[in-house]
Amino acid sequence: MISPFTLHRKDDLKDAVALLASHGEDVKVLAGGSELILLLKMGLVAPGHLVDITGIRGLSDVEFDDTSNCLRIGGLVTHRALESSVLVQKHFPLLAEMERSVANVRVRNIGTLAGNLCFADPHSDPATLLLAYDARIQTLGAGGKRGLNISDFFVDYYTTALEQSEILTCIEVPRLEDRFSRNYQRFCPGERPSVTVATLVRWDGNTCGEARLALGCVGPTPIRATEVEISLKGRSAKEVLSVAQEAGERAAILCDPLEDIWGSAEYKRHIVMTLVSQGLSQLSQERSAKG
């Protein structure tokens, strides 16, 4: 049973922020509500106030900013909107593909990308891919506007760097150069993924000029396998293929997965090794085939 609360509907962002600041720890933001409503029903949270921000204009926009070369995703944009956006499908196809994997259509229709990130569930898809893209988070709080690299946004299990009065207003996703090849993989034996891996490689001719390898669901926060990324730089596509399994093994060592009903920590590290190896092998083979 949900504990009683007062619902405040706000259509102005600054008013919503002021209300959050005035109620301290006894208030929560309601947007899509796909995660919050579950917590309320389970009695895991019992705020005295909810601030409904769904009426705030401008937070449901998806647009491309030519000046910053970034996709700007408003704080109320749903997973379904991103999945079906022609703009996203054309210029950020891997993002649209990932969004199609999130939960189910019912959840994607109401759940927002911003809400997903703020909930900081370690078993989630978007955070891993956005970390590989070097996305940025924009917020507004009592102290004014703030920008955060997504690598600094996640702090621990279900914990972010958001201050109590802050609302996530926008996610900025930089557009990748055409020289990047990319893939996103997930292992999902249950309702939520157990392992996620995003692999991006920028090819300078037939040579790896930059590698980005993000790992999710295997620790309190998604991580970049920086050591592995550095080791791949400067290698030819054939060399990347030859060391793909070794790269997977090194990436697995960096993980700190929890044992649960879906597998032991050792098992999940094995999945990481497999997905990293497969991802790098696929991208390097595609590059080699192009000559």
Query: 231-276: per-residue pLDDT in tens?
Result: 999 999 999 999 999 999 999 999 999 999 999 999 999 999 999 9
* Residue 69, Ramachandran bin (φ over 0: left; ψ between -120 and 50: alpha; else beta): left
Residue 128: its pLDDT value, please?
Answer: 98
The whole-model pTM stands at 0.96
| pLDDT one-digit tens code per residue, 158-207 | 999 999 999 999 999 999 999 999 999 999 998 899 999 999 999 999 99
Residue 129: its pLDDT value, please?
Answer: 98
Confidence of residue 1 (pLDDT cuts 50, 70, 90): confident
Residue 121: its pLDDT value, please?
Answer: 95
Other CB atoms within 10 A of residue 8 CB: 17
Q: Is the pLDDT confidence value at 291 over 80? A: no
- For 19-59, strand residue ranges (E) read 27-30, 49-52
Residue 27: its pLDDT value, please?
Answer: 97
| Percentage of residues in the chain having pLDDT higher than 70 | 100
Q: Please tell me the distance from the alpha carbon of residue 57 to that of residue 63, in angstroms, as a whole number.
A: 14
